[in-house]
Amino acid sequence: MKGLILAGGAGSRLYPLTQVASKQLQPVYDKPMVYYPLTVLIASGIREICLISTPQDLPRFQQLLGDGSQWGVVIEYREQPRPEGIAQAFVIAASFIGQDAVTLILGDNIFFGGDAFPRAFAEFKSGATIFAYHVKDPERYGVVEFDAEGHAVSLEEKPAQPRSNYAVPGVYLYDNDVVGISRALQPSARGELEITDVNKEYLRRGTLRVQRLSRGTAWLDAGTSSSLHEASAYVQTIEKRQGMKLGCPEEAALYRGFLTLEQFEALVGRMPRCEYRDYLTDVAAEVRRVGLIGA
């Protein structure tokens, strides 16, 4: 399976911050926002990744992430000249996807807790898998409705009168049919290729699986100034309490086996003196002391 990170859009809700840098390059506590979705992909075993962003922002992402080899992955880049919907990502990255299954994660979504994503990635075989997360304001999101047996029966994009409180967060797993489905979509009233319409097609085919995320999972959408601040405060609180970092691709690559301990230590050794390096140095020391990789 290949992975896409969609990091495009104007980020107008974060103005004037986005006059300086892309939304997905804004800091969430001590790391760029894009580190968090990248870490989800690495922790889930994805080694081939394509980042999609605007022509003006792509050079900044390339400077930050490079080719991914430092984490034992391969990162490619594609331009999204105009923000024309989440599903446009599959059309833009069709040559990267090839004949493989693919997962898409939004660059401004932050997740913490549980092992739902690694398990879903490992179990995925065909069709589509999306997730459902209970929220108090479902009208802001794509909403999934369940029947009495817990099966998904409808999907709506930002409905005025939601049929449930379950929103669809920004992680989607699809078989290779998603490329053709996305190409065949008609733009919505707002001129976009809607990801909800992709999911509706899989629902129509009877091949859509919806997994409800447990209460132990946190989902943060850092698309506004207030939510960006709240996400930073949340990450700081969790890291201070647990002594473990969120959104740390180096650590995820080590635990996933993409890097050997020696490669990990060499990578850390090239970093400037900072709290981030100190943390990773402690990770390496703990792995050497315990003698096990994985947590």
- How many angstroms separate the CA atoms of 121 and 166, rounded? 21
Domain ranges of the chain: 2-246, 260-295
Nearest of 252, 247, 3 to residue 124 by alpha carbon = 3
What 3-state DSSP class applies to 88?
helix
**DSSP secondary structure string for all residues of 128-172:** EEEEEEE-S-GGGSEEEEE-TTS-EEEEEES-SS-SSSEE--SEE
Per-state percent for the chain, helix, strand, coil, to nearest 5: 40, 20, 40
CATH topology for the 2-246 domain: Spore Coat Polysaccharide Biosynthesis Protein SpsA; Chain A (3.90.550)
Q: What is the pTM of this model?
A: 0.94
Instruction: List the chain pLDDT tens, one digit each, 295 residues.
Output: 999 999 987 778 888 888 888 899 999 999 999 999 999 999 999 999 999 999 999 999 999 999 999 999 999 999 999 989 999 999 999 999 999 999 999 999 999 988 899 999 999 999 999 999 999 999 989 999 999 888 999 999 889 999 999 999 999 999 999 999 999 999 998 899 999 999 999 999 999 999 999 888 999 988 889 989 999 999 999 999 999 999 999 999 999 999 999 999 999 999 999 999 999 999 999 999 987 664 4
pLDDT the model gives residue 86: 95
